[in-house]
Amino acid sequence: MSSNLRNFFIWSAIFIALIAGVDSLTRRVNAPVVSQFTYSRFIEAVNANDVQEVTLQGHQITGKTRRGEMFATYAPYDASLIPLLLDRGVNLSALPVETKISFWQILLPLLPLLLICGLVFFSFKQMQSNGNRALGFGRSNAKLAEEKKLKVTFDDVAGADEAKQDLQEVVDFLKDPQKFQRLGGKIPKGFLLVGPPGTGKTLLAKAVAGEAGVPFFSIAGSDFVEMFVGVGASRVRDLFGQAKKNSPCIIFIDEIDAVGRRRSGNYGGNDERDQTLNQLLVEMDGFDDAQTIIVIAATNRLDVLDQALLRPGRFDRRIVVPIPDLQGREKILAVHLKKVPLAPNVKIDILARRTPGFSGADLANLVNESALLAARLGKLAVGMQELEEARDKVIMGAERRSLVMTEEAKKITAHHEAGHAVVAFYTPGTDPIHKATIVPRGSALGLVATLPKDDRVDYTYEWLTADIMVSMGGRIAEELIFGPEKIGAGASSDIKAATNLARRMVTEWGMSRAVGFLNCDFGDSSFEAREFSEATAKIIDDEVNRILTTCYQKATDVITEHRQQLVAIASALLDRETLSGDEIKLLCEGKELPPQVDTSSEVAVPESIPNTSSKRKRGRPKKQPPQSEQLT
């Protein structure tokens, strides 16, 4: 039920109740006090000369006694009544019989008709307020943002220099089409933005419209798809019809894979989506050269799009919007940190180095979480401590200090994380340790996080085997210190990560001589749909087991050799709960830790501290894998 219809029934009920209340109150105030007499009592009062006047109206008798009391009674047919009243000197009057019709007797029969008329009235009002949507089911749901309202420019987009450079051609063409037409060039009709979620594809499309100063139509791919066949195609026609009236303009289709998926070829399977896609293809082919309409679409599922949609003449230019690299993260952080007051100890370059694999949306969320944390602590500026805490919260979840752990469970967790740290420190090829903690976060009881020195764009055999060894360090330390009877289920995520990594080394990356240069990845298919024999599957299992066994033995040797450092790190974790990478390095080198600094009494930074970290170097974005974390 719509809100207008619901409001109509509510106000109708209130109106009727109000009228009823007023009518009842009026009757009670104006009506005199009348005593109801029985007929026998009335005759007794007449015989006793106690009745002064009587009014006859059919069988209804009303009157007044000599004491001034008003009365009423109902009389049967009695021929002797009038002579009796005249004989007793009663002032007698008679009125004709009239049928009195009350307000409710008129209103109640008309009430259904009034409700129906009101329902029809509000239905038409609702259709008019929704742009006659009920009568135009095939109208497009695209939102039009005029050029005056578009305030997003390329300056608001950071970390995607190559994508901005490709899209700059669109801006130049919309501003000066003759510049390209003079040499016979034609601007591509469609630009497809491809990249992981949160990398800024929608923001780039808005920036193009803001830079060019043209109308901007925005719609999601799922808005075209309906249950009724033909509705989506009608909406596509309506969208491009509106765009032609506002040419030059930009049409932005977000998540186009919802409507542009590869057609199956099975007629009757999904005719609505297929017809919608066909209409989209026809409309993109039917652009008039005199009409400047640019279609920009975004997706993170390029592999599922129909090939007819990707051919030249439609979406003939693909622009990759990757996860930002180190310099890209610096520029993105500088954009978001301009909006919050910063403490002097904030170093954007260090923060960018500690957030590999973060997308633009992740970095924006990190800045927002740090601002909320600083506000809860009563600070006037965001410091590096709040940013680090926000980073850990985004990656690992919030701390669960309310979780009660026994002393034995704490010791096992501390030695488990110490095992990860020892293997990570002494194994060549591993990333430097960033932090180790036994404070529960999310579903983990503790963790050791490692961060690469530089953005990693490739995985080597040395790094992969070292990462597997680090994953195994926790379970090996538990078994070495407490015995096989005391090991727990906390290494389940480590076992899963190590197994998946070893299997990918064998099936995808060709790092096994026994399997060779053969892709045996299952992909999204089931085991039954694999494209290799049972013999090959047996070789794969043997190779995965060989890699895991070799790494397990190497990690055991490392922990056995450095057992003293393992115990020292575990003791420090039990004492301080959290250790930095530098503190772990000191313990591994046999040095004492410096006294622990109490940050609870930190003085709030004045609000007037300026943000001086906005100017950073620019660089080429690269694909960046996420950092390694070992969770218990």
- Does residue 520 contact residue 532 with C-beta atoms inside 8 Å? yes
Catalytic residues: 417
Residue with tokens 């439609």: 314
Q: Over the range 319-340, which residues count as b (16 or more CB within 10 Å of their CB) and which as e?
A: bbbbbbbbbbbbbbbbbbbeeb
Sign of CA dihedral 81, 82, 84, 88: positive
Q: How far is CA 372 from CA 239, 350, 390, 492, 602, in A?
A: 41, 21, 9, 34, 17
Residue type, 516: G
Phi, psi of 612 (to 5 degrees): -110, 15
3-class SS of residue 360: helix
**HSE on the CB side for 563, CA within 13 Å?**
11
Would you state the torsion angle of the CA atoms of residues 507, 510, 515, 519, taken in this order, to the nearest 10 degrees? 50
Taking the CB of residue 432, how many other CB atoms lie within 10 A of it?
Answer: 14
Q: Cβ neighbours of residue 52 under 8 Å, at least 6 residues apart?
A: 63, 64, 65, 66, 90, 91
| Gap between the Cα atoms of 419 and 440, Å rounded | 17
Q: Over the range 422-431, which residues count as b (16 or more CB within 10 Å of their CB) and which as e?
A: bbbbbbeebb
- Does residue 213 contact residue 225 with C-beta atoms inside 8 Å? no
| Gap between the Cα atoms of 116 and 112, Å rounded | 6
C-alpha of 127 from chain center: 30
Ramachandran region of residue 442, left (φ > 0), alpha (ψ -120 to 50) or beta? Answer: left
Q: Looking at 204-332, which runs of residues are DSSP E strands?
A: 216-220, 249-254, 293-299, 317-320
In the chain, what is the straight-line distance between the N-terminal and C-terminal CA atoms, in Å? 51
| Gap between the Cα atoms of 193 and 434, Å rounded | 34
| Gap between the Cα atoms of 174 and 187, Å rounded | 9
Q: Are β-strands 447-450 and 628-631 bridged in parallel, bridged antiparallel, or unpaired?
A: antiparallel
What length does the chain have?
632
Give the model's pLDDT for residue 141.
58
**HSE on the CB side for 136, CA within 13 Å?**
13
Give the model's pLDDT for residue 21.
58
Q: Cβ neighbours of residue 24 under 8 Å, at least 6 residues apart?
A: none
Q: How far is CA 119 from CA 109, 122, 131, in A?
A: 17, 5, 19
- Does residue 354 contact residue 313 with C-beta atoms inside 8 Å? no
| Gap between the Cα atoms of 205 and 295, Å rounded | 10
| Gap between the Cα atoms of 154 and 147, Å rounded | 15
Closest CA to 550 of 588, 506, 510, 519: 506
DSSP per residue over 505-566, as a string?
HHHTS---TTT-S-----TTS-GGG-SS-HHHHHHHHHHHHHHHHHHHHHHHHHHHHTHHHH
Count of H helices and E strands in the chain? 20, 15
Q: What does pLDDT average to in each consecutive run of 10 residues of the chain (632 residues)?
A: 58 65 56 74 83 82 83 79 80 73 61 69 58 48 60 80 83 77 75 88 84 82 69 80 83 85 63 79 71 84 84 83 87 89 88 86 90 90 89 78 79 92 91 86 81 79 93 93 86 91 92 88 54 86 94 94 92 89 89 70 35 30 40 46
Closest CA to 392 of 342, 325, 425, 437: 437
Residue type, 457: V
| Gap between the Cα atoms of 564 and 567, Å rounded | 5
Would you state the torsion angle of the CA atoms of residues 507, 513, 517, 519, taken in this order, to the nearest 10 degrees? -10
Give the model's pLDDT for residue 150.
64
- Tell me the β-bridge partners of 294: 250
Residue with tokens 């939102």: 143
- Does residue 257 contact residue 304 with C-beta atoms inside 8 Å? yes
Phi, psi of 515 (to 5 degrees): -85, -40
Q: Cβ neighbours of residue 258 under 8 Å, at least 6 residues apart?
A: 220, 221, 222, 224, 225
Residue spans of alpha helices (H) in 446-491: 461-482
Give the model's pLDDT for residue 1.
46
